[in-house]
Amino acid sequence: MPRQIFGLLLDIDGVLYIGNHRIPGALEALTFLHKNKIPFLLITNTTRRSRVTIWHHLKRMGFPVEQSQIFTASLAAIDWLENHSVRQISVMLSGSVVNEFKNFRISNSNPEYVVIGDLGSDLTFEKLNNAFRLIMKGAKILALQKSRYWQTEEGLFIDAGAIVAALEFATRKRAIVIGKPKKDFFLKAAQRLNISPENLAIVGDDLETDIRGGKEAGLFAIAVKTGKFREDVFKKSKIKPDAILNSIGELPKFLKKIRGDLK
Q: Indicate the pLDDT class of residue 158, thresholds 50, 70 and 90.
A: confident
Report whether 75 contacts 83 (CB < 8 A): no
Instruction: Using pLDDT thresholds of 50, 70 and 90, give the confidence band for residue 149.
Output: confident
Q: Is 50 exposed, middle or buried (0-12, 13-18, 19+ CB in 10 A)?
A: buried
pLDDT at 151: 67
Q: Positive or negative CA dihedral for 18, 24, 30, 31? A: positive
Q: Which residue has the higher pLDDT, 123 or 250?
A: 250
Taking only the tens place, the pLDDT of each residue in 20-53 is 999 999 999 999 999 999 999 999 998 888 999 9
Contact 56, 98 (CB under 8 A): no
**The pTM is what?**
0.89
Decide: 29 and 23 in contact? Cβ < 8 Å.
Answer: no
22 and 16 in contact (C-beta within 8 Å)? yes
Quote the CA–CA distance of 203 and 178 in Å, as a whole number. Answer: 19
Give the whole-angstrom CA distance, residue 203 versus residue 184: 17
- Which amino acid type is present at position 252? P
- DSSP class of 95: G
- Residue 155 confidence (pLDDT): 80
Query: What local confidence, expressed as pLDDT, does residue 127 receive?
Result: 95
Q: Which helix (H) or strand (E) holds 148?
A: none
- List of domains in the chain: 7-45+180-258 (3.40.50.1000), 74-177 (3.40.50.1000)
Mean of all residue pLDDT scores within the chain: 93
Residue 68: pLDDT band with limits 50, 70, 90: very high
The number of C-alpha atoms within 13 Å of 79 and in the hemisphere containing its C-beta is 13
pLDDT at 2: 58
Round to whole Å and give the CA distance between 247 and 205.
Answer: 9
pLDDT per residue as tens digits for the range 170-215 = 999 999 999 999 999 999 999 999 999 999 999 999 999 999 999 9
Q: Is the pLDDT reported for residue 1 higher than 70? A: no
Residue 69 has pLDDT above 70, yes or no: yes
Q: How confident is the model at residue 117 (pLDDT cuts 50, 70, 90)?
A: very high
Phi and psi torsions of 140, nearest 5°: -95, 160
pLDDT value of position 147 = 83
Indicate whether 85 pLDDT > 90: yes
> Contact, 204 vs 15, CB < 8 A?
yes
